[in-house]
Amino acid sequence: MVLASLVPLCFAGWLVWQSMRGDTEDEGSGSPPVKPGPSASGTAGRDGDEQGRPGGEGTGDGDDADGGAREPLAGRTVVLDPGHNPTNRKHPTEINRQVDIGTNKKECDTTGTETNSGYAEAEFTLDLARRVRTELRARGATVRLTQDGDRPWGPCVDERAEIGNEAKADAVVSLHADGAAQGGHGFHVIVPASVRAGGADTSAISAPSRRLGISLAAAFDEVEGARRSNYISAEEGYVTRDDLGGLNLSKVPKVFLECGNMRDAGDAGLFTDAKWRGRAADGIARGIADFLTGKR
């Protein structure tokens, strides 16, 4: 009788023990439970934080721990150099001062050109740089401008190069527009020659700069309305020069983008169109991103 009454009690106890054992097995082999990722406003655990910045190429594929798309340029630094300065013309003494560019000496800066209607290159490049900054930041990049309308003149070409060097930028793009004869139209990219003279030494950055230039030219070529230059012989959309201080003094990959000819009615029509400047900014940002992620 006693034994018969104990059997149901033992069976009930065995069922309780099995239930408890199953709960512990669901957590895995001794590993702590996975905590949900932080919200988008947090910093710990996100791409680009201090503990996990992706520094290599191809970091834009896949998802992060909380299921959001990775920022492909997180951890990368880009310097944008809007050519000239809208108020350079008020400071002729300062901008005409000679500075050393390694191969020789040149003016600190110039006033730039303008369209026939008076839209200044410096206004165009500053607006474009701000738009590109927005596009790159949306991709996770840290972006710095050499000037943001916050200086009365300049900076000088040697300082523009130094800003990129000090930032240890992964890429620097100097934005310009040409002042060629009417009928000449289209863009081209200028990449640094391999130069070793005085304080200039581009031997380490000429090759990556060329890759940046090719990537930028390919992406800009896809911008609606953009076309390659018909007055500059630019293989693959780029030319090589050794006479620009902003390139000669750079220690990081850097190129110039001449977006077109401000004296040409067709190009000028694009430059003065805010919607086109938005499309151009997207193309520039894509070119930079493709270079940094190894897509081109």
- Rounded distance between C-alpha atoms, residue 187 and residue 232, angstroms: 9
- DSSP three-state, residue 25: helix
Q: Which residue has the tokens 């905590």?
A: 35
Is 258 designated active site? yes
CA distances from residue 277 to 117, 126, 149 in whole angstroms, order as listed: 17, 11, 18
Q: Which residues contact 226 (CB under 8 A, 6 or more apart)?
A: 186, 187, 220, 259, 260, 270, 280, 283
- Rounded distance between C-alpha atoms, residue 73 and residue 59, angstroms: 7
- Rounded distance between C-alpha atoms, residue 254 and residue 192, angstroms: 8
Torsion of the alpha carbons at 89, 94, 95 and 96, rounded to the nearest 10: 110
Dihedral pair phi/psi, residue 222, rounded to 5°:
-90, -5
**233: Cα separation from own chain's centroid:** 26
Q: Which of 71, 135, 159, 258 is catalytic?
A: 258
Give ∠ CA 255-172-59 in degrees, rounded to 5: 115
Comparing C-alpha atoms, which of 83, 56, 284 is closest to residue 170? 56
- Rounded distance between C-alpha atoms, residue 187 and residue 255, angstroms: 13
DSSP of 47-102, one letter per residue?
Answer: TTSTT----SS-TTSSB-TTSPBP-TTTT-EEEEEE-S-TTGGG-HHHHTSEEE-S
Catalytically active residues are: 258
